[in-house]
Amino acid sequence: MSKVFFSVGMSLDGFIAPEGMEMAHAHDPNYKGWLGQWMALHQWVFRQKFFRENLKLGEGGETGQDNTLLEETFARTGVSIMGKRMFDGGEGQWPEEAPFHTPVFVLTKQVRSPWERPGGTTFHFVNDGIESALRQAREAAGDKDIRIAGGANAIIQYLNAGLVDEFTIAQAPVFFGGGVRLFDGIDRHKIALEITEAIHSPLVTHLRYAVTKR
Amino acid sequence: MSKVFFSVGMSLDGFIAPEGMEMAHAHDPNYKGWLGQWMALHQWVFRQKFFRENLKLGEGGETGQDNTLLEETFARTGVSIMGKRMFDGGEGQWPEEAPFHTPVFVLTKQVRSPWERPGGTTFHFVNDGIESALRQAREAAGDKDIRIAGGANAIIQYLNAGLVDEFTIAQAPVFFGGGVRLFDGIDRHKIALEITEAIHSPLVTHLRYAVTKR
């Protein structure tokens, strides 16, 4: 059966995004600072061959362990699920050929017809909760896995509901000092973890966990 | 010259202790729950040969990578520096032969004569700030290194003042959901890090960083 996982970048002090950045406009006085933080968090990604090819940024890029991990995460993902804020933030940012290339289920109260993009990404808007979205995702994913893409709120809802099998944190050696915390609202009584892997390159530590009790 | 470092256990959501535990009495209704959290965070330590010997808990214990890391941290430490709350919390908990076996400088407003314990630990009470404590620690440490033992407040003061050379986080695969955060109050503009190492055993991931800009 498909596994349910998430894979996100996190600062050493536990943040995955500057607070308010997702919905801000580029002329917001804070935007440049936020973008700098976000770039530092994901610095390891931008130089990888897979990332450059997937976003059509051109030839070249690194082909080592970090690139292999990006490729593997992409290859296993049959469907993504994301929260409304992540979708709203991305809608104006993703290129026309959105980088998912799979069905994407968006948790939202908005009623909207599926939005098909060139390159295989189709956004489906789910109005009846996380379990319904997951059922639909399982049907669409086939033998592949289901990625809870984000944001933190969607990830925590799935974790606390006992629906996540495993996850990877790409922990960057940076501090945010504030922003959106990954694990705010976690219900510690419901979850037990097992360390699966911890490997690092100069710019990131990949921490992989299996959820053993839910 | 002596290096200044810290080495602490942290939950995956960024906490190093339950809030309020340090100063609580054992008959506090929360105490048992807090102790359970604290034990889960440090579970990997209790089974190590070094820990058992140092606290005279008896023969046996593991002698693998985790034990070697404990031994190395102890061997390099010529002096520890700690905050007042950590000292107050430990004063009634440590055995008569306190587990440091070196001079310990306590940051406090309390004026108090040095407190010498059997086994080589002497607590010195410093009333004129973190830089004075560090100067005194350097004199006492000789060729060995200086450990900022904790708590979080003392560690963040030394980090933000640019006085820390490197640190290790023993990240346990547990969630706290609340408590004392390690990195609350960090000044992200002042600090840049480099990943030195990331290794794991079944119960803990050791994340080692060098501070490259201060």
Residues of chain B contacting A, Cβ within 8 Å: 12-14, 169, 171, 173-177, 181-183, 186-188, 191, 193-195, 197-205, 207, 209
Residue B121: per-residue pLDDT = 97
Mean pLDDT (whole number) for A207-212: 97
B93-122 confidence digits (pLDDT tens)? 899 999 999 999 999 999 999 999 999 999
Residues of chain B contacting A174 with CB distance shorter than 8 Å: 188, 193
Average pLDDT, chain A: 94
CB-CB under 8 Å, A14 with B183: yes
* Å between A165 CA and nearest CA of chain B: 15
**Domain interval for residue B72:** 4-213
> Among partner residues A177, A187, A205, which is closest to B195 by beta-carbon distance?
A205
CB atoms near residue A180 (< 10 Å)? 20
- The count of structural domains within chain A is 1
pLDDT higher than 90, residue A19: no
Is the pLDDT confidence value at B26 over 80? no
* Domain of residue A26, CATH code: 3.40.430.10
**pLDDT in the model for residue A13:** 98
| Closest approach of A115 to chain B, Cα-based (Å) | 36
Q: What is the pLDDT of residues A128-161, one digit of tens each?
A: 999 999 999 999 999 999 999 999 999 999 999 9
A-chain residue closest to B40, CA distance:
A192
pLDDT in tens, B126-149: 999 999 999 999 999 999 999 999
ipTM: 0.94
* Residue A176 distance to chain B (closest CA, Å): 6
Instruction: Write out chain A residues lying below 8 Å of B202, CB-based.
Output: 194-195
- Name A91's Cβ contacts closer than 8 Å, sequence gap at least 6: none
